[in-house]
Amino acid sequence: MENTPGILYIVATPIGNLNDISFRALETLNKCDLIACEDTRHTKRLCQHHDIRTPLQAYHQHNEHQAGQKLIDRLNCGEHIALVSDAGTPLISDPGYVVVQLAHQAGIQVSPIPGPSALISLLSVAGLDTSSIQFEGFLPNKSSQRLSALKQLLPCQSTLVIYESSHRILACLNDISNIAGSDHLMAMGRELTKTFETIYHGSIDQVLTQLTDNPVQQKGEFVIAISATKPTVNESVPLIAQKLALTLMPLLPPKIVSKIVGSHHDCNKKQVYQFILDQQASE
């Protein structure tokens, strides 16, 4: 008889505070046959803290393809495997894509065990509009490449979220300031859930000043959220929009015409509606 394939669990683990882990995650890590992790030394500390004795195996960006296939072979033999990253939710700017893709191709069940995420943790306290977000992970290391990337990303009509390390945080914030403007609103989390957690909120210049004045605050891991830039809406009705409105007026109700014209020409639909009423009154 053929073995029924095991399940690949994608398990979120703490981003700092070791107690930020769900009962379900602990249960999964305990019952699996193997835990695949970025750094066995790092995950070992978590396991020791929660008395988890499941064997560990390294799975990181340098051995993804070779190690990934070996994990698939074990899953096909009926073993259950938990995939974890060093911190947070796997595959979010972390290794795991290869083995998850292989699992899907092999018809192996992949099951998420949700939990901590630096991205979501910052957004929950950022005080920014999160109705639409754009996540870019880590930007390029070199300033010239980072500036080029930022020019393509900003202005952004969604809240833009990126990760950054202590080695580049000042340079990165300066580059963001150069592109978005020093008075642009942002939020930033440093060492989230850890002893020296700090949440920054204000203009880019204000946050830069706090870090520059206190070099200690330049240490740690950072999550940056840059507020969305809403599209400019013309308060008056430009001539080209007036022409479209006049063309559509005999065909559609005023409210429909104002909505179409306002959307098409990026102008205030209330102003368009008033223009239509004025035209009708003058006839």
Stretches where the chain sits below pLDDT 70 are: 1-2, 231-235
pTM for the whole structure:
0.80
Distance (Å, whole) CA 180 – CA 212: 19
119-226 matches 8-116 in CATH topology: no
The predicted structure's pLDDT at residue 3: 77
Specify the fold of 119-226.
3.30.950
Q: In whole angstroms, give the CA distance from residue 181 to residue 95.
A: 34
| CATH classification number, 8-116, choose in 3.40.1010.10, 3.40.50.20, 3.10.290.10, 3.40.50.2300 | 3.40.1010.10
pLDDT score of 234: 56
Q: Which of 133, 163, 138 is nearest to 149 (CA)?
A: 138
Q: Which of 184, 179, 182 is nearest to 147 (CA)?
A: 179
Residue carrying the six token digits 């939710």: 89
Q: State the pLDDT at residue 87.
A: 94
- In the chain, DSSP assigns E strands to 8-11, 34-37, 56-58, 81-84, 110-113, 133-138, 159-165, 185-190, 198-203, 221-226
Look at residue 265 in the predicted model and tell me its pLDDT: 86
Domain ranges for the chain = 8-116, 119-226, 239-282
SS3 (DSSP) at 261: helix
Count of other CB atoms within 10 angstroms of residue 18: 13
DSSP-derived 3-state class of residue 78:
coil
